[in-house]
Amino acid sequence: MEVPSYNYDLTNVAVQAAHKAGDLLRRGFGSHFDISKKSNTFDIVTEFDKAAELAVISHITKFFPSHAFLAEESGSIDKPNAPICWIIDPLDGTLNFAHHIPTFCISIAAVSGTEILSGVIYQPLLDELFVAEKGHGAFLNNVRLRVSTVEQLNMALISTRFPYDSPESRQKSIQSFSKILSIGNPIRITGSAALSLAYVASGRFDAYWGLDLSPWDFAAGKLLIEEAGGTITSYNGENIFPLKNCNTLATNTALHAAILSYMK
């Protein structure tokens, strides 16, 4: 596939890396592979998570050997005085992938300090490439993205996630879910936070909330949403930083205050 040119070299390299990882995941999807547990029964990693992450990091390192990384499987790979930190989820939606459910993606973001410069989310089975660059907009397969124009909360299609790491997290998520459900809104759970954020940026979802998202879950999606005209904050309405876990609310901006009142 021919890769178009972007404003930043960072973006070109991220897109190339996403395609390399996507090729691996397409070949692996539906096949037999090794699965290992991490923190609990449903927190798993496959050999394709690891292979895709290696492909992304190896490709980026060829072009930017001085850059640092924060990746879901490898953790933090520090470099002294690194100008850029790459935040990577090589397979967001691992549980879907392992169960042969075709909803997952690769997420890559380039961060300078606390500023996200480039963000790429790639759904390889549909060949959907979401790309955002700071100050240059957000795109899906080279078509400009804008968030939805829905202004009434009771008309919104909203997405969320249910964490399964602790009883406390589950209870908090159920409380938020019950509040939103009481309005009568349809709610979707994709099993991929990064992809859900890309769907907010593209207007497919009007909003998304997620408890305790990791940087690799939201970094690329944050830039996509902001460049598409949306808003993404913590549950307290504060700015979120790409190197810290966060309770995250993303909306089309018009709905942000209304949904935020339910999160608080």
Query: Domains of the chain (ranges plus CATH)?
Result: 9-144 (3.30.540.10), 153-263 (3.40.190.80)
Cα-Cα-Cα-Cα torsion 89, 41, 160, 202, nearest 10 degrees, comes to 30
Tens of pLDDT along the chain (264 residues)?
Answer: 444 567 779 999 999 999 999 999 999 998 888 777 666 655 668 899 999 999 999 999 999 999 999 998 888 899 989 999 999 999 999 999 999 999 999 999 999 999 999 999 999 999 999 999 999 999 999 999 999 999 999 999 999 988 766 667 667 777 878 888 888 889 999 999 999 999 999 999 999 999 989 999 999 999 999 999 999 999 999 999 988 999 999 999 999 999 999 887
How far is 145 from 199, CA to CA, in rounded Å? 10
The string of DSSP letters for 151-203 reads --GGG--EEE----S-HHHHHHHHHHHHHHHTTT--EE--S-HHHHHHHHHTT
